[in-house]
Amino acid sequence: MAKYKLPKPGELSSSINYNPPAKDWMDIPVEFKPATYPAAAKEKDLLTVGFPNAHQWTPEDEDWNLPDGWEDTVIKGIEERLSKYRSFKLFMDVCVRCGACADKCHFYIGTGDPKNMPVVRAELLRSVYKRYFTKAGKVLGRLAGARDLDADVLKEWWYYFFQCTECRRCSVFCPYGIDTAELTIMGRELLNLLGLNINWIAGPVAACYSKGNHLGIEPHALKSNIELMIDDIEDITGIRVNPTFNRKGAEILFVTPSGDYMGEPGIYTCMGYLMLFHELGLDYTWSTYASEGGNFGFFTSNDMAKRLNSKIYAEAKRLGVKWILGGECGHMWRVLNQYMDTWNGPADFLEVPVSPITGTRFENAKSTKMVHITEFTADLIKHNKLKLDPSRNDHLRVTFHDSCNPARGMGLFDEPRYVIKSVCNNFFEMPENTIREKTFCCGSGSGLNATENMEERMRGGFPRANAVKYVHDKHGVNMLANICAVDRAAFPALMDYWVPGVGVTGTHELVANALVMKGEKERTTNLRGEDLPGKEGNE
Amino acid sequence: MSQITVGDLVVELDEDGFLEDHKQWTVDVANYLAKTEEIEELGEEHWKMINYLREYFDQFGVAPMVRKMCKDTGFDQKKIYELFPAGPGKGACKIAGLPKPTGCV
The residue ranges of every structural domain in chain A are 9-37+56-194, 204-514
The pLDDT score that the predictor gives to residue A412 is 98
Select the residue of B66, B68, B103 nearest A215 (Cβ to Cβ): B103
A135 neighbors A91 (Cβ within 8 angstroms)? no
- Tell me the mean pLDDT in the region B44-53: 98
Chain A contact present for B23, CB below 8 A: no
Distances (CA, A) of A330 to A108, A366, A390, A401, A509: 22, 21, 26, 11, 17
- Return the residue of A nearest to B59 by Cα: A221
Phi, psi torsion values for A279, nearest 5 degrees: -60, -35
Gap between the Cα atoms of A303 and A306, Å rounded: 5
Select the residue of B61, B66, B102 nearest A218 (Cβ to Cβ): B61
Q: Which residues of A touch B103 (CB under 8 A)?
A: 203-204, 207, 213-215, 258-259, 294, 296
The pLDDT score that the predictor gives to residue A537 is 67
Phi, psi torsion values for A97, nearest 5 degrees: 55, 45
Q: Which residues of B touch A329 (CB under 8 A)?
A: 104
The pLDDT score that the predictor gives to residue A34 is 95
Paired strand residues for A481: A400, A505
Q: Is the dihedral of CA A281, A282, A285, A290 positive or negative?
A: negative
Q: Which residues of A touch B58 (CB under 8 A)?
A: none
Burial class of residue A532 (count of CB atoms within 10 Å of its CB; 0-12, 13-18, 19+): buried
Query: Cβ separation of B60 and A221 shorter than 8 Å?
Result: yes
Query: Cβ separation of B1 and A294 shorter than 8 Å?
Result: no
Chain B contact present for A451, CB below 8 A: yes
DSSP-derived letter for residue B64 is P
Gap between the Cα atoms of A450 and A490, Å rounded: 9
Give the largest Cα separation in chain A, rounded.
80
Question: Which H or E element spans position A326?
Answer: strand A323-326
Query: Cβ separation of A259 and B61 shorter than 8 Å?
Result: no
What is the distance between the terminal CA atoms of chain A, rounded to a whole angstrom?
A: 49
The domain locations on chain B are 2-96
Distances (CA, A) of A242 to A438, A515, A522, B35: 40, 17, 21, 45
Query: Cβ separation of B62 and A489 shorter than 8 Å?
Result: no
Gap between the Cα atoms of A432 and A467, Å rounded: 10
Gap between the Cα atoms of A299 and A418, Å rounded: 31
Which residue ranges in chain A fall short of pLDDT 50?
A: 1, 539
Q: Which residues of B touch A1 (CB under 8 A)?
A: 2
The pLDDT score that the predictor gives to residue A1 is 45
Residues of B marked active site are found at 104
A196 neighbors A51 (Cβ within 8 angstroms)? no
The pLDDT score that the predictor gives to residue A348 is 97
The nearest CA of chain B is from the CA of A362 a distance in Å of 29
Query: Cβ separation of A228 and B2 shorter than 8 Å?
Result: no
Chain A contact present for B62, CB below 8 A: yes
Q: Which residues of B touch A296 (CB under 8 A)?
A: 103
A364 neighbors A346 (Cβ within 8 angstroms)? no
Helix, strand, coil share of chain B (percent; to 5): 50, 10, 40
The pLDDT score that the predictor gives to residue A2 is 54
Select the residue of A58, A216, A294 nearest B62 (Cβ to Cβ): A216
Distances (CA, A) of B44 to A193, B47, B83: 49, 5, 10
State how far Cα A431 lies from the chain centre: 22
Residues 6+ apart with CB under 8 A from A491: A401, A442, A461, A480, A482, A504
Q: Which residues of A touch B62 (CB under 8 A)?
A: 215-218, 221
What is the distance between the terminal CA atoms of chain B, rounded to a whole angstrom?
A: 21
Gap between the Cα atoms of A5 and A35, Å rounded: 9
Query: Cβ separation of B102 and A258 shorter than 8 Å?
Result: no
Chain B contact present for A1, CB below 8 A: yes
Q: Note the helical H segments in A16-94.
A: 43-48, 70-84, 86-94
A177 neighbors A98 (Cβ within 8 angstroms)? no
pTM, full prediction: 0.97
A117 neighbors A229 (Cβ within 8 angstroms)? no
Query: Cβ separation of A218 and B60 shorter than 8 Å?
Result: yes
CATH no. for B2-96? 1.10.10.370
Chain B contact present for A259, CB below 8 A: yes
A205 neighbors A300 (Cβ within 8 angstroms)? yes
Q: Which pairing describes strands A479-482 and A370-372: parallel, antiparallel, or unpaired? A: unpaired
Q: How wide is the angle at C-alpha B68 spanned by C-alphas B50 and B75, nearest 5°? A: 60
Chain B contact present for A486, CB below 8 A: yes
The pLDDT score that the predictor gives to residue A468 is 98
Helix, strand, coil share of chain A (percent; to 5): 50, 5, 45
- Tell me the mean pLDDT in the region B12-29: 93
Gap between the Cα atoms of A35 and A39, Å rounded: 10
The nearest CA of chain A is from the CA of B51 a distance in Å of 18
ipTM of the modeled complex: 0.95
Q: How wide is the angle at C-alpha B11 spanned by C-alphas A1 and A55, nearest 5°? A: 80
Gap between the Cα atoms of A64 and A185, Å rounded: 21
Which residues 32-51 in chain B show a CB within 8 A of chain A?
A: none
A200 neighbors A165 (Cβ within 8 angstroms)? no
A350 neighbors A391 (Cβ within 8 angstroms)? no
A383 neighbors A358 (Cβ within 8 angstroms)? yes
- Return the residue of B nearest to A332 by Cα: B104
Chain B contact present for A19, CB below 8 A: no
